[in-house]
């Protein structure tokens, strides 16, 4: 299937604004024949397909993109992609799942894996294929569950390192599938043949290796749960670099837990407030508001369902709440709900990253 991809500035429309998945598909259906014809013929693709769809998607959520092409002579495959943004993955999955049945269409979320047998990408004058790429796994006895991969590209050197690395990421995104590429591999390095420290493995064996490692990981941690009811907490006082106070409350029991890898996704939920008149600390109404928001988040993300509140720090005109999760999708959705509910009262942001051994919390150990 030849894919048409477009990432562009989105613009507003004079049509009625949509506010739900259902609204989007109700808008899409009466126009589907025009959309289908644009992809099938390859004519007026921007005007009749990409521009109107991007415009409508922007009304629902920014940072969502499309892949579209003919999967056979009659079927258009439309893939919604988050382009590696964890925050948007649940959205594209729910949007695709909400699609009604339409003759001549196939809808999906995230780029699917590609048959590697004849798969080649060319970027910036370099090829990415079975002939140019190989790999080997890195192992660390201190972090046995981490999946660390080194990719070797035959043309890699210090001058082209950035371009080659971008090309490798693009190749893996298509070869493994978007979701597998960003969720299974914990760390990735790209090097040249002269830097290889182990025997090289053909790149076509990477998918099988990752499936085996992931299956092993799931079997090891699938039943691991933690109940925080009897955990011990520590209150820490410190200072920011500018001398303003910083107050931290951490679940000290969790920081010593041996099952950390079972909750590999880390959430940094930040609320910012005006603390100029209070030495960077919140006033009483702001403190109560942040507690209300944090309590609402904890109620919707219970520990026994795989959401562990590790602690928080307050100071410097912001509060950061840290969680570890078995999966990040629901956390992102709950954050969006809270932002819609409380976003007019306080600035809120969410960062998602993977850290199987919670090394990002070493600073909280006492």
3-state secondary structure at position 359 = helix
Residue 49 DSSP one-character state: I
CATH of domain 233-364: 3.30.70.100
Contacts 24+ apart (CB under 8 A), 112-119: 112/79, 112/177, 112/178, 113/175, 113/176, 113/177, 113/180, 113/207, 114/174, 114/175, 114/177, 116/175, 116/203, 116/204, 116/207, 117/204, 119/174, 119/175
Residues 6+ apart with CB under 8 A from 264: 186, 324, 326, 354, 355, 356
Question: Model confidence at 8, in pLDDT bands (50, 70, 90)?
Answer: very low
Element (H, E) at 106: strand 105-109
Question: Model confidence at 15, in pLDDT bands (50, 70, 90)?
Answer: low
Please provide the DSSP assignment of 155-188 as one string: T--TTTHHHHHHHHHHHHHHHH-HHHHHHT-SEE
Distance CA 129, CA 313 (A): 46
- Nearest alpha carbon to residue 359 among 301, 312, 310: 310
Distance CA 279, CA 159 (A): 47
Give me 134's structure tokens.
Answer: 């190989």
For 363, list phi and psi in degrees, rounded to 5: -65, -20
Distance CA 269, CA 364 (A): 17
Distance CA 19, CA 149 (A): 41
Model pTM score? 0.89
**Residue pLDDT, tens place only, 243-252:** 999 999 999 9
Whether residue 16 is predicted with pLDDT greater than 80 in this model: the reply is: no
Instruction: Note whether 231 and 309 are within 8 A (CB).
Output: no
Give me 27's structure tokens.
Answer: 């808008």
**Residue pLDDT, tens place only, 116-157:** 888 899 999 999 999 999 999 999 999 999 999 999 999 999
Distance CA 51, CA 218 (A): 41
For 278, list phi and psi in degrees, rounded to 5: -125, 30
- Mean pLDDT across the stretch 23-38? 96
Give me 142's structure tokens.
Answer: 């201190």
**Residue pLDDT, tens place only, 157-216:** 999 999 999 999 999 999 999 999 999 999 999 999 999 999 999 999 999 999 999 999
Whether residue 9 is predicted with pLDDT greater than 90 in this model: the reply is: no
pLDDT over 70 percentage in the chain: 96
Give me 348's structure tokens.
Answer: 């809120």
Residue 47 DSSP one-character state: I
Instruction: Note whether 147 and 137 are within 8 A (CB).
Output: yes
Question: Model confidence at 14, in pLDDT bands (50, 70, 90)?
Answer: low
- The burial class, CB within 10 Å (0-12 / 13-18 / 19+), for 194 is exposed
Please provide the DSSP assignment of 311-341 as one string: EEEEETTEEEEEEEES-SHHHHHHHHHHHHH
Question: Model confidence at 366, in pLDDT bands (50, 70, 90)?
Answer: low
Q: Where in the chain is the domain with CATH 3.30.70.100?
A: 233-364
* More confident position, 77 or 73: 77
**Residue pLDDT, tens place only, 215-242:** 999 999 988 989 888 899 999 999 999 9
Distance CA 337, CA 267 (A): 16
- The burial class, CB within 10 Å (0-12 / 13-18 / 19+), for 8 is exposed
pLDDT at 4: 43
Distance CA 360, CA 268 (A): 11
For 190, list phi and psi in degrees, rounded to 5: -120, 130
Whether residue 286 is predicted with pLDDT greater than 90 in this model: the reply is: yes
pLDDT over 90 percentage in the chain: 86
Instruction: Note whether 278 and 270 are within 8 A (CB).
Output: no
Whether residue 334 is predicted with pLDDT greater than 90 in this model: the reply is: yes
Residues 6+ apart with CB under 8 A from 183: 354
């Amino acid at each position: 299937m030849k894919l048409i991809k477009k990432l562009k500035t989105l613009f507003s429309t004079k049509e009625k604004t949509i506010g739900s998945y259902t609204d989007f598909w109700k808008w899409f259906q009466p126009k589907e024949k025009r959309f289908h014809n644009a992809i099938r013929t390859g004519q007026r693709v921007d005007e009749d397909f990409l521009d109107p769809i991007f415009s409508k998607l922007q009304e629902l959520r920014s940072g969502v993109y499309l892949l579209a092409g003919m999967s056979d002579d009659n079927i258009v495959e439309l893939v919604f992609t988050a382009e590696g943004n964890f925050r948007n993955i649940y959205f594209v999955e729910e949007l695709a799942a909400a699609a009604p049945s339409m003759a001549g269409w196939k809808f999906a979320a995230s780029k699917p894996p590609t048959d590697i047998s004849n798969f080649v990408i060319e970027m910036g004058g370099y090829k990415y294929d079975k002939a140019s790429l190989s790999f080997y796994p890195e192992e660390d006895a201190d972090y046995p569950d981490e999946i660390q991969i080194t990719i070797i590209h035959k043309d890699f050197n210090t001058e082209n390192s950035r371009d080659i690395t971008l090309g490798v990421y693009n190749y893996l995104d298509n070869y493994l599938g978007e979701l597998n590429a960003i969720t299974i591999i914990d760390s990735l390095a790209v090097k040249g043949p002269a830097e290889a420290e182990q025997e090289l493995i053909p790149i076509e064996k990477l998918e099988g290796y990752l499936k085996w490692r992931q299956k092993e990981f799931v079997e090891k941690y699938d039943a691991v749960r933690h109940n925080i009811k009897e955990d011990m907490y520590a209150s820490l006082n410190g200072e920011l670099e500018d001398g303003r106070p910083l107050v931290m409350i951490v679940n000290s029991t969790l920081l010593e837990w041996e099952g950390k890898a079972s909750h590999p996704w880390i959430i940094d939920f930040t609320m910012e407030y005006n603390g100029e008149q209070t030495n960077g600390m919140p006033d009483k109404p702001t403190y109560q508001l942040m507690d209300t928001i944090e309590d609402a988040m904890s109620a919707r993300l219970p520990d026994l369902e795989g959401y562990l509140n590790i602690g928080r720090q307050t100071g410097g005109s912001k509060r950061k709440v840290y969680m570890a999760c078995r999966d990040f999708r629901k956390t992102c959705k709950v954050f969006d709900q809270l932002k819609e509910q409380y976003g007019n009262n306080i600035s809120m942001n969410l960062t998602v990253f993977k850290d199987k051994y919670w090394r990002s919390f070493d600073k909280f150990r006492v």
